[in-house]
């Protein structure tokens, strides 16, 4: 679909770009937001709220700001060049470096898919007592069917629906508890470091920016692209892209905050330590009722399916980009990338003795690969050869490299803490 879309000559098309047209641009950012509210984030957020109440809400605010900057930057690459991050890497970075980078990105995509598939499988176990491995297989089959049978536009609508269900689920959960909004307001803006909280802080901040989302955003943003030759339209599109990214990341901020608020109001108040998603679901039933536990599990299922879908799309984007091609689910390279990520991740779940140990290993792989993706992205978006006059300004370059260093340091610290 992207291939066909990019080849359309829209030279004579002049769309109106009024206020009501902003909503036509909403969508690509929400696909990226799914990676921000995936099952891995659930575990960290619930642990943060259960152990430290409202004190660590500032992590969500800071991580959202970092995410907006990096995702906005990579979206500019797609708009200004007509290339996704994978294509640009193949074209503008020397082959001996680009091949290693993109192969490692595929490995990171497999690791991401493993975590997302496990999240959906855990939800199926909660709801229907399905064994983890059987649930993983069901999630993989369903997601592959969705990806292979639908166009991007259809998938975008499904993802928006999934995110809506997740958001409404947490609104329902929050309606059942009493929130100390004064403490929550302070927690969002005042950094604090309670004793023993550094591992959770690093896991939340370090896991927000994910390699596959950077590749994905640079591709899906082009679903709103009209004409690369018209400077006025490019500038308008850049502006609307920022609104889409900002709006979508705020939704992610709200849902992640809701997880911490729920855990703080329910588990922290009752001095209940939560270390696993299964445990959280089991504890919600006696504290808030069976309906709350069911809604929690349903939201987790939608999160697992949605994040697995975007992880598969990202893998298709990365693999197709190795051949200097855009994502197109009808093309063999894109289809192969999707299959590699989802099938290999499922096989790993079946082969390892402890699937949950696989979650730790997957986070290790992401921690190692992420710096390569971030610094390659900033290098490309700072290059006049690649971006022309849309390259990063000196201030933007300093900020982006600074964020790259911070995220890298957090991921290294998290990696060390796992041993």
Residues 367-419: pLDDT tens digits?
A: 788 889 999 999 999 999 999 999 999 999 999 999 989 888 877 777 777 66
- % of the chain exceeding 70 in pLDDT: 90
Query: What value does the mean pLDDT take over residues 96-112?
Result: 95
pLDDT for residue 22 = 59
CA distances from 152 to 21, 28, 127, 330, 404 (A): 20, 10, 29, 11, 30
Task: Assess if residue 223 is contained within a domain.
Answer: yes
- pLDDT category, 352, cuts 50, 70, 90? confident
pLDDT for residue 11 = 42
Query: What value does the mean pLDDT take over residues 114-141?
Result: 95
**Among 32-41, 111-120, 272-281, which stretch is predicted with the lowest mean pLDDT?**
272-281
- pLDDT category, 356, cuts 50, 70, 90? low
pLDDT for residue 4 = 40
pLDDT for residue 42 = 87
DSSP H or E segment with residue 367: helix 355-381
CA distances from 271 to 50, 56, 266, 412 (A): 8, 16, 9, 31
**69 has a pLDDT exceeding 70:** yes
Rounded to whole angstroms, the Cα distance separating 415 from 44 reads 15
Say what the alpha-carbon torsion angle 357, 359, 360, 361 is, to the nearest 10 degrees.
90
pLDDT for residue 7 = 44
**350 has a pLDDT exceeding 50:** yes
Rounded to whole angstroms, the Cα distance separating 193 from 203 reads 14
- pLDDT category, 8, cuts 50, 70, 90? very low
Query: What value does the mean pLDDT take over residues 29-34?
Result: 90
- pLDDT category, 234, cuts 50, 70, 90? confident
Task: Assess if residue 244 is contained within a domain.
Answer: yes
Query: What value does the mean pLDDT take over residues 40-47?
Result: 85
**225 has a pLDDT exceeding 60:** no
Task: Assess if residue 267 is contained within a domain.
Answer: no
pLDDT for residue 360 = 64
Task: Assess if residue 52 is contained within a domain.
Answer: no
Most confident of 5-9, 154-158, 281-285: 154-158
- pLDDT category, 205, cuts 50, 70, 90? confident
Name the more confident of 360 and 88.
88
**Residue position matching structure tokens 């588990």:** 267
Task: Assess if residue 192 is contained within a domain.
Answer: yes
pLDDT for residue 15 = 45
**Assigned token pair, 228:** 């690369």
- What are the tens digits of pLDDT across the range 185-203? 999 999 999 988 888 887 7
Query: What value does the mean pLDDT take over residues 315-323?
Result: 97
Query: What value does the mean pLDDT take over residues 296-325?
Result: 96
pLDDT for residue 10 = 37
CA distances from 301 to 169, 310, 363 (A): 12, 14, 20
Q: How far is CA 216 from the centre of its chain?
A: 9
**Into how many domains does the chain fold?**
1
**Residue position matching structure tokens 């991050």:** 85
pLDDT for residue 1 = 45
| 136: containing domain | 20-41+82-248+276-417
Picking from 121, 80, 129, 169, the residue whose alpha carbon sits closest to that of residue 308 is: 121
Task: Assess if residue 63 is contained within a domain.
Answer: no
pLDDT for residue 419 = 66
326 phi-psi bin (left φ>0, alpha ψ -120 to 50, beta other): beta
Task: Assess if residue 88 is contained within a domain.
Answer: yes
Q: What is the CATH number of the domain that holds 317?
A: 1.10.4160.10
Name the more confident of 330 and 224.
330
pLDDT for residue 36 = 84
**Among 35-39, 238-242, 274-278, 374-378, which stretch is predicted with the lowest mean pLDDT?**
274-278
Query: What value does the mean pLDDT take over residues 334-356?
Result: 91
pLDDT for residue 281 = 85
Rounded to whole angstroms, the Cα distance separating 400 from 297 reads 37
Task: Assess if residue 328 is contained within a domain.
Answer: yes
């Amino acid at each position: 679909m992207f291939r066909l879309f990019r080849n359309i000559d829209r030279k004579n098309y002049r769309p109106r770009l009024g206020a009501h047209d902003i909503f036509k641009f909403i969508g690509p950012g929400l696909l990226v937001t799914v990676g921000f509210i995936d099952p891995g984030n659930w575990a960290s957020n619930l642990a943060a709220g259960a152990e430290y109440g409202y004190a660590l809400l500032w992590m969500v605010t800071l991580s959202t700001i970092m995410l907006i900057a990096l995702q906005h930057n990579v979206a500019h690459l797609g708009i200004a060049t007509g290339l996704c991050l994978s294509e640009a890497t193949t074209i503008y970075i020397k082959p001996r470096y680009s091949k290693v980078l993109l192969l490692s990105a595929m490995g990171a995509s497999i690791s991401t898919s493993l975590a997302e598939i496990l999240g959906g499988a855990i939800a199926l176990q909660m709801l229907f007592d399905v064994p983890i491995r059987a649930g993983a297989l069901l999630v993989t089959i369903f997601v592959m069917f969705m990806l292979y049978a639908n166009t991007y536009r259809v998938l975008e609508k499904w993802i928006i629906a999934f995110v809506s269900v997740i958001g409404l689920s947490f609104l329902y959960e929050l309606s059942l508890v009493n929130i100390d909004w004064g403490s929550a307001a302070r927690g969002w803006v005042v950094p604090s470091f309670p004793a023993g909280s550094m591992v959770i802080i690093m896991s939340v901040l370090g896991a927000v920016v994910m390699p596959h989302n950077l590749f994905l955003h640079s591709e899906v943003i082009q679903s709103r692209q009209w004409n690369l030759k018209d400077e006025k339209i490019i500038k308008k599109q850049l502006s609307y892209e920022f609104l889409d990214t900002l709006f979508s990341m705020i939704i992610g901020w709200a849902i992640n905050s809701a997880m911490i608020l729920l855990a703080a109001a329910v588990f922290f108040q009752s001095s209940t330590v939560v270390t696993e998603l299964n445990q959280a679901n089991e504890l919600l039933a006696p504290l808030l009722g069976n309906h709350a536990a069911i809604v929690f599990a349903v939201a987790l299922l939608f999160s697992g399916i949605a994040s697995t879908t975007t992880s598969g799309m990202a893998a298709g984007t990365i693999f197709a980009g190795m051949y200097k091609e855009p994502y197109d689910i009808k093309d063999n390279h894109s289809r192969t990338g999707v299959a590699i990520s989802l099938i290999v991740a499922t096989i790993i779940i079946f082969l390892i003795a402890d699937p949950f140990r696989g979650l730790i290993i997957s986070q290790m792989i992401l921690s190692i690969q992420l710096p390569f993706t971030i610094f390659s992205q900033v290098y490309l978006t700072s290059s006049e050869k690649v971006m022309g006059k849309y390259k990063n300004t000196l201030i933007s370059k300093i900020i982006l490299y600074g964020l790259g260093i911070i995220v890298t340091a957090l991921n290294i610290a998290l990696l060390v803490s796992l041993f």
